[in-house]
């Protein structure tokens, strides 16, 4: 055993760096982006005081990323600590840098803090945050442990990171329940995000099979799962194109359609070697997907308002 490992196992208190690592800042971008899309989509119904809106939005960004997303990551690491001890022993909990039950206490504290901040931002924000926290705990914790099935687990993450974050951003800016069109877009992009989550499962097919985690690649094979992921990503976006056209936003509709066309070109290359190219597609095709989210948000803001 190395000197570093021995020192880590002797710790009795968690370090700040270990706690921050447990909250995984790299994962905060997705819900913060979705929150931003929601805020932009509802900007026409924003409060009259621009300064107040600015600080409310800042608080909402902190809520969606460092707080809610961070809490979900801490929850996941705690309930995955035994698996991480085998696969990622350097993680804060199995390495001993978050000793005892401190990882669980951080997950509980961060969940509670998230709900306190959400309550200060309004009842609809609180309701969405409660739903997000419930999904985060159900995703990782027994008896539900939704992550053991690719359909349910990926849906929980997609809803929390995309749909609820979008809804929260819109509710923060609108100061209440967002427009129905905004909610519909949040739902559609949540559905599409399920496919993005599936792409993340290609990197661990053997391990998931051994552990009984029934991701879509495990259930249906890599090729079929890749096709399902592409279809799930494409169909909601096509509906967005149709909706924007019906809402008299043809330029925005054509822009999203062009982004879909580019994704189709990239998907063809992805399907030729799904396991090898899933990370490449996440860096290229998924970027086009989230760009389309922002285009749709501006469309709603300028055309149907909130």
Q: Read off the pLDDT of residues 205-238 as tens digits, 9 standing for 90 and up.
A: 888 888 888 999 999 999 999 999 999 999 999 9
Q: What is the pLDDT of residue 291?
A: 97
What mean pLDDT is reported for the chain?
Answer: 91
Residue 54 CA neighbour count, 13 Å, CB half: 3
Percent of the chain with pLDDT over 90: 81
Q: Tell me the average pLDDT across 42-58.
A: 74
CA dist 205 and 297 (Å) reads 35
Backbone angles phi, psi at 149, to 5 degrees: -130, 125
Domain ranges of the chain: 12-33+45-153, 179-306
Q: What is the pLDDT of residue 11?
A: 65
CA dist 71 and 277 (Å) reads 30
Q: Read off the pLDDT of residues 77-127 as tens digits, 9 standing for 90 and up.
A: 999 998 888 878 999 999 999 999 999 999 999 999 999 999 999 999 999
CA dist 104 and 149 (Å) reads 23
Percent of the chain with pLDDT over 70: 93
Q: What is the pLDDT of residue 3?
A: 43
Q: What is the pLDDT of residue 47?
A: 53
Torsion of Cα atoms, 65 then 82 then 88 then 64, to 10°? 0
Residues 6+ apart with CB under 8 A from 262: 285, 288
Q: Tell me the average pLDDT across 241-265.
A: 97
pLDDT-derived band of residue 8, with 50, 70 and 90 as boundaries?
very low
Q: What is the pLDDT of residue 231?
A: 98
């Amino acid at each position: 055993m190395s000197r570093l490992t021995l020192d880590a196992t002797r710790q009795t208190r968690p370090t700040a760096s270990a706690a921050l690592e447990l909250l995984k800042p790299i994962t905060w971008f997705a819900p913060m982006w979705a929150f931003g899309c929601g805020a932009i989509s509802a900007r026409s119904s924003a409060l009259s005081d621009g300064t107040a809106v600015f600080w409310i939005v800042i608080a909402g960004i902190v809520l969606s990323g460092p707080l809610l997303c961070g809490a979900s990551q801490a929850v996941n690491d705690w309930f995955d600590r035994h698996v991480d001890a085998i696969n990622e022993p350097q993680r804060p909990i199995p390495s001993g840098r978050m000793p005892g039950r401190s990882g669980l206490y951080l997950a509980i504290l961060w969940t509670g803090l998230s709900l306190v901040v959400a309550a200060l931002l309004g009842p609809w924000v609180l309701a969405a945050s409660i739903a997000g926290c419930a999904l985060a705990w159900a995703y990782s914790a027994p008896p539900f442990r939704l992550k053991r099935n690719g359909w349910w687990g990926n849906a929980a993450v997609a809803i929390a990171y995309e749909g609820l974050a979008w809804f929260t951003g819109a509710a923060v800016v609108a100061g209440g329940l967002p427009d129905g069109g905004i909610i519909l877009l949040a739902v559609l992009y949540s559905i599409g995000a399920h496919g993005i989550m599936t792409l993340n499962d290609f990197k661990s097919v053997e391990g998931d099979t051994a552990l009984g985690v029934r991701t879509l690649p495990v259930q249906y094979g890599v090729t079929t799962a890749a096709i399902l992921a592409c279809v799930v990503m494409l169909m909601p976006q096509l509906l967005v194109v149709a909706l924007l056209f019906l809402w008299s936003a043809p330029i925005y509709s054509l822009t999203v359609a062009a982004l879909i066309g580019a994704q189709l070109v990239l998907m063809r290359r992805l399907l030729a070697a799904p396991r090898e190219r899933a990370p490449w597609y996440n860096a290229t095709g998924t970027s086009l997907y989230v760009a389309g989210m922002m285009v749709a948000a501006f469309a709603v803001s300028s055309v149907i308002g909130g």
